[in-house]
Structure 1
Amino acid sequence: MTDTFSTRTIDVTTGSSETVHDLTDACMSFLREVALARDGLLNVFTPHATAGLALIETGAGSDADLLAALHQLLPADNRWQHRHGSPGHGRDHVLPAIVPPHATLPVIGGALQLGTWQSVVLVDTNKDNPDRQVRLSFLG
């Protein structure tokens, strides 16, 4: 069997507030179309200097906890040298060093192998850019 590479870019609107946007369903839908019961790897990448990807539990408060923790680590104030955009926007440019813009995940039998409570999420603290892209790539 030869390796197959498939890729797709999805558009995500995050709005005008900080958000943790769940991408898990989009990832699983993509794999249903392209993985065809094969083993491989799913790479998730966002080509933005102010957004990242994480694996966390959603819906039980962890998404709000993540944003609160980022506020503690990266306050939205005037300490940042990068100063265009909203007040404190420089912190958004530091975010990808803490929440990276990529994740590579195992796929077995065409199914994404996440833990029971794990979800794939886009983390976006940049209120100035509500339109994001995420590239999903499967190699299997």
Structure 2
Amino acid sequence: MDTELMDVDTARRRTVDLTDEVREFCAGRGDGLCHVFVPHATAGIAIFETGAGSDADLVETLERLLPRDDRYRHAHGSPGHGADHVLPAIVSPSVSIPVQSGTPLLGTWQSVVLVDLNRDNPRRSVRLSFLDA
């Protein structure tokens, strides 16, 4: 298995499109699976259409589902930080993507996106791993 760790800054955005980085990582590797994993307890990886308002819609939907208030037992950090710890149960911390001839087999409008609503930690690591077929 080949693996690489990348650093991502989420200080100014709640979603970060990683599709180009995933394509670059897979290029020249042949057939297999690309696994994208965020090793954090408060972030997730999603595959969805970006642009045309979808990014904002996702963030708004998650913020409605996970309001930032004092209802959470997990209460350290900024107000509502407990919601950040629930996020990975809704947006998985990883996805696996089939790869053929070094190309991730994503649909026409699919992108690989880091989702991070946590305002306490703007520095994220994302691990890309490739498993040969």
TM-score (norm 1): 0.91
Q: 1:71 aligns with which of 50, 63, 73?
A: 63
RMSD: 1.0
Q: What's the TM-score once normalised by structure 2's chain length?
A: 0.96
Matched, 1:129 2:121: yes
Deviations 1:19-49 (A, max 9, x none): 110000110111125x1xx110000000000
- Asked if structure 2 preserves the Cα contact closer than 8 Å seen for 1:18 and 1:126, the reply is no
Deviation sequence 1:100-129 (CA, Å, 0-9, x none)? 100001001110010010000000000000
Deviation (angstroms), 1:86: 0.8
What is the DSSP-based 3-state SS (H/G/I as helix, E as strand, rest coil) of the residue aligned with 1:133?
Answer: strand
1:27 aligns with 2:22: yes
1:111 has 2:107 as partner: no
Contact 1:107 1:113 in 2 (8 A): yes
Q: Distance in 1 between matches of 2:79 and 2:64?
A: 16
The equivalent residue for 2:131 is 139
Candidates 21, 33, 38, aligned match of 1:41? 33
Contact residue 52 and residue 124 of structure 1 kept, 8 A: yes
CA distance in 2: counterparts of 1:139 and 1:76, whole angstroms: 38
Q: Which amino acid aligns with 2:120?
A: D
Unaligned runs of 5+ in 1: none
Paired with 1:95 and 1:12, the residues of 2 have a C-alpha distance of 18
Give the Cα–Cα distance (whole angstroms) in 2 for the partners of residues 104 and 32 of structure 1: 16
| Distance of 2:26 and 2:92 partners within structure 1 | 22
- List, as ranges, runs of 4+ consecutive aligned residues in structure 1 with deviation greater than 6 Å: none
Alpha-carbon distance between aligned partners in 2 of 1:48 and 1:13, rounded to the nearest angstrom: 14
Query: Percent identical across equivalent pairs?
Result: 60
| 1:7 corresponding residue in structure 2 | 3
1:18 and 1:127 in contact (8 A); partners too? no
